[in-house]
A and B are shown apart, each in its own frame.
Chain A
Amino acid sequence: MDFIAQGVLEAFRLLMLGDPQTWSAVRTTIGVSTMSIMASLVLGAPLGFALGYYEFPGKRGVRLLVDTLLSLPTVVIGLLVYAFITRQGPLGDFGLLFTMRGIALGQTLLGLPVVVAMTATAVESQDRRLRQTLLTLGASPGQVLLTTLAEARFAVALAAMAAYGRIVSEVGISMMVGGNIKWHTRTITTAIALETGKGEFGMGVALGLVLMFIAFAVNLLAVMLRRSSQR
């Protein structure tokens, strides 16, 4: 039990005194997860919207596939990405292994299904009358699309939060693709795995708390953005 108390004290010490190793891991985590969430949203929001908005043959199958991908374990994604970006793999020449870009690639694959599935569900469940009302008011199909898009923005924001939560907390991809390299690809989660592996449980708890601070800050930012947009 005492290492939990130790960890809480340690967390404050690390952040307050600006422990360079901890800050390096914080920077890596924020950097990588930012790249991943941006890519997940840029790719996922339009895909999810299209999946929810349009009717096409095989739509059910696609939905099923996306929902299944939600439960793909991070180590499997890590393994797949490793297989592609190892020097012997098809993308070996890009030199992505043991880099932040490599981790971001894997984490994008993790965030993408979340964004697609949640956006699609939100668009599908939008009030059916919205479309009819718009058409009655004489809106062109393009205007209907734009209005639906605008109505879906909160769903996308919600999807972004959920995806970010998954991305920032995963350890499998970061470990397998990033290699937990000190000062370069050591994220908070791989650092936790390393410290617990070394038997430094207090340090592990401390880093866990640091990660929670970051999540808290991100959520706080989201709330503030929402407030300012509702004015």
Chain B
Amino acid sequence: MKQVRMIVMVMALMLLTLGVARAETLMMATTTSTDNTGLLDYLAPIFQADTGIELKWTAVGTGKALKMGENCDVDVLLVHAPAAEKAFIESGFGSERRQVMYNDFVIIGPAADPAKVKGMKVAAALKTIAGSGTKFISRGDDSGTNKKEISLWKASGMELPDKEAWYVQTGQGMIATIKVAEEMGGYTMTDRGTFIKYADTNNGNPPLVVLVEGDDVLFNQYSVLLLNKEHCPNARHDLAEKFADWMTSEKGQKIIGDYLMLNQKLFTPNAK
């Protein structure tokens, strides 16, 4: 019997270490880019100091984040797929979309640039990569970046090369996908914020470099989505509203603009 008592004691001690905190918490679903770049780690404490609201978030692809919003599992969304966001509101799941900040997408590849696409427009670059036999690595996970990439293939007048041997779909997050591209010596498309983070991890000298950038179609808008009160009566709409207000306020916007890595802005604030 002695050992049973000891087990119970140990278990009780373990359970006591589970501190239960009860602050006002706002649950958000967001994309991997806002999390991996460290933006949210930097914003959340400031937001909490200003409003007393603790921000909790789960970082998934935009596709899954929208699904979580649809299921009312979160209170607010911070995502980057304008077309899908508008459809989300039209379907009656969301009530409001507020643009917060942008960065841009870039096509990156080996510094040697085997397909010779440096400086091209996106459509020309994709066509060239498709005909060159070099690999193109795609997220393939229905994230905001993946949705954008699919639209770019279509815009360049090609079918999505879904079954082509040179088109590799990882189904993983952005940096994991960049790593795959690095290993395979191929090209991939990423948002600039995540690329800067990746460059920073490689001490500012990454194996893959930006080759295609600055084309208007590469613009990447991030927005806060508020959920529909009728569809999700239990979500904390009041806190979500406060978060949206704070993110688009002068202070929130300044803080986003002040977040630098390798002396570069990761996100540019552009609330209306």
Instruction: Verify if B71 is at the interface (C-beta below 8 Å from A).
Output: yes
Instruction: Verify if A51 is at the interface (C-beta below 8 Å from B).
Output: no
Q: A87-B232, A97-B73, A98-B27 are in contact. Are A181 and B58 (CB under 8 A)?
A: yes
* Size bracket, chain A contacts: 20 to 34
Q: Which residues in B have their C-beta under 8 angstroms from that of A184?
A: 56
Instruction: Verify if A30 is at the interface (C-beta below 8 Å from B).
Output: yes
CB distance from A218 to the nearest CB of B (A): 10
| Chain B, residue nearest A179 (CB) | B58
| Chain A, residue nearest B37 (CB) | A198
Q: A86-B73, A180-B58 are in contact. Are A199 and B6 (CB under 8 A)?
A: no
User: Quick check: which of A66-74, A121-129, A130-138, A221-229 contacts chain B, the rest being far away?
Assistant: A221-229
CB distance from B213 to the nearest CB of A (A): 21
| Chain A, residue nearest B70 (CB) | A88
Instruction: Verify if B245 is at the interface (C-beta below 8 Å from A).
Output: no
Asked if A87 contacts B36 (CB within 8 A), the reply is no
Asked if A225 contacts B6 (CB within 8 A), the reply is yes
Asked if B36 contacts A34 (CB within 8 A), the reply is no
Instruction: Verify if B72 is at the interface (C-beta below 8 Å from A).
Output: yes
Instruction: Verify if B203 is at the interface (C-beta below 8 Å from A).
Output: no
Q: A31-B15, A200-B201 are in contact. Are A87 and B3 (CB under 8 A)?
A: no
Contact code string A57-95 (vs B, CB < 8 Å = 1, else 0): 000000000000000000000000000001110001000
Contact code string A26-48 (vs B, CB < 8 Å = 1, else 0): 01001100110010000000000
Q: Which residues of B contact A (CB under 8 A)?
A: 2-3, 6-7, 10-11, 14-15, 17-18, 27, 32, 36, 41, 56-59, 71-73, 172-173, 175-176, 178-179, 197-198, 201, 232, 234
- Contacts A197-B173, A198-B173 supplied; 17 other A-B pairs, CB < 8 Å: A30-B17, A31-B18, A34-B11, A34-B14, A38-B11, A86-B72, A87-B72, A88-B71, A97-B73, A98-B27, A98-B58, A100-B18, A181-B57, A181-B58, A198-B175, A198-B197, A199-B201
